[in-house]
Every structure is written in structure tokens, then in C-alpha cells.
Amino acid sequence: MLENIDFSKSVDFLKGEIIVIDKPLTWTSFNVVNKVRNIICRKLQLKKMKVGHAGTLDPLATGVLVLASGKYTKLIEQIQAGEKVYDAVVCLGATTPSYDLETKIDQIFEYQHITLEMINEAVDKLRGVIMQSPPKYSALKIEGKHAYDLARKGKEVILEKREIILSDIIIQKIELPYIHLQISCSKGTYIRSVAHDIGLNLNNGAYLYSLRRIKVGDFSVENAFTLEEFEKKLISAEIISDTHH
């Protein structure tokens, strides 16, 4: 079983380590990879080092971002295939073009009439295997261009629906207009689209207010390092830095 880096043992970034980071808000996944790579290269006095991530988190999301170094970058697809678990807060009564707070609210709806039964029914429709429309503001490519670039320029964006699995959606708390959910899902799921679809199922509007990824496969946020913790641990760690293997 793959495990998060253990600083109590000798660490070998070239042979391969898994590094689970608790991604900070507003950082892109690419920013985190760059930062971790720079920290490692500085410590080992290397010019370059292979580091990749297993599954993007949007800048406005926090939580588990699994990174792999050295030869372990070959395991990224295997890690990405693991089930993801998110804590999500959905806001009813409004929509945004990006389905989250990256873009401004473009429509407002009355939501005071929405009952717990209606919310349960709207969520029930999304459980299991479904065909999901990805958000127009996504990194998916259309003829070589990112969908979000086209959307920002006001161009028409048509993305094909994809089959995903929402194995569980637990309603944890309702404080209208906010619904707190825990969502377990397959690779390729857009939680922003889940939020949007809840709005559609209620004949209303909804967008993703906040998102935290708490699990990717066996990797959990409880065992994740903040970037500061990772850097601090690395300073005192025993590193194997033989560059010839």
C-alpha cells in the first residue's frame, strides 16, 4: 500500500516519495507542485526533480493534494483512480457562470419555500452512476484550448457529458441558503456541477460556496502536511541524495 512520506525514516525523493499536502486556499495545484519541488531541490541542491500531482484541486478548494516525486510519478494514474471524499457547502438561491465563487452571481432566485423533503429529493436524484455536464469554466480542452479561456472570452462552450459515480451524498446540515454535504465520488467528478445540478433539480439556482477534499483513496487530510510543516520537517530529515539510482 502506498503511504504518505514518513520523516522518521530515511527519505529518498529520487527513488520516490508520496507527499500529501493540505492545499491552501487560492493556490493552484500547479503552484503547490512548484513550491514542493523548489523546497526539495533547495534541500538536495539539485537543479531539477520530478514532482507531479494526482488530481487537480480548484484554486478555491482546500484539502488533500497527493504529490509524487521521482520514480513514484509513474503511480499518479493509479492514485488518481481512488475514490475522492469532499466536504462541500452549496449555496441555494443564486447561480454563477463558473458554478462557484470564481465568477460573480448572474441570477438570483427565491429559496425560502424550499423544504428538507425537496432538498432530499434533489440530492437523491444525483446518487449513483450519472451523466454529468462539466462546468464551462474548467480546464478541459476544446480543440486544444482550455474551456475556461473560451468561456472568459464569451465564446460558446459545449462540453460532452461524462459518466461519473456519486457513491454517497450525505446531507450534514442545512442552514438555508446553505447546504453542508459530504460527497464520495469517482475520478473526474466536478463538485461544482453537483452544486449546479442540485439547483436545477430544485427548479432554483445553486453554486458551490466552499470545498474541502478530505480523502483521495487511502490518503486523508488528517495526515496531510501544510506547506510550512513540510518545509520544516524536511529541514531536519535524513535524506538519501544519491543521484545515481
Catalytic positions = 58
Nearest to 75 by CA among 189, 178, 219: 219
Query: 58-73 burial by CB neighbour count: b if 16+ within 10 A, else e?
Result: bbbbbbbbbbbbbebe
Would you state the torsion angle of the CA atoms of residues 131, 109, 98, 19, taken in this order, to the nearest 10 degrees?
-80
Check: CB of residue 84 under 8 Å from CB of residue 187.
yes
- Give the DSSP H/E element, type plus range, for residue 78: helix 76-80
Residue 115 Cα to chain centre, angstroms: 29
Those residues whose C-beta lies under 8 Å from the C-beta of residue 116, and which sit 6 or more positions away, are 174
C-alpha cell at 85: 471524499
Query: What are the start-end ranges of the E strands in the chain?
Result: 18-23, 51-53, 61-69, 84-92, 94-95, 107-108, 128-132, 141-142, 145-146, 162-175, 178-185, 206-216, 219-220
Q: How many residues does the chain have?
A: 245
Those residues whose C-beta lies under 8 Å from the C-beta of residue 14, and which sit 6 or more positions away, are 49, 69, 70, 71, 240, 241, 242, 243, 245
- Total Cβ atoms within 10 A of residue 235: 8
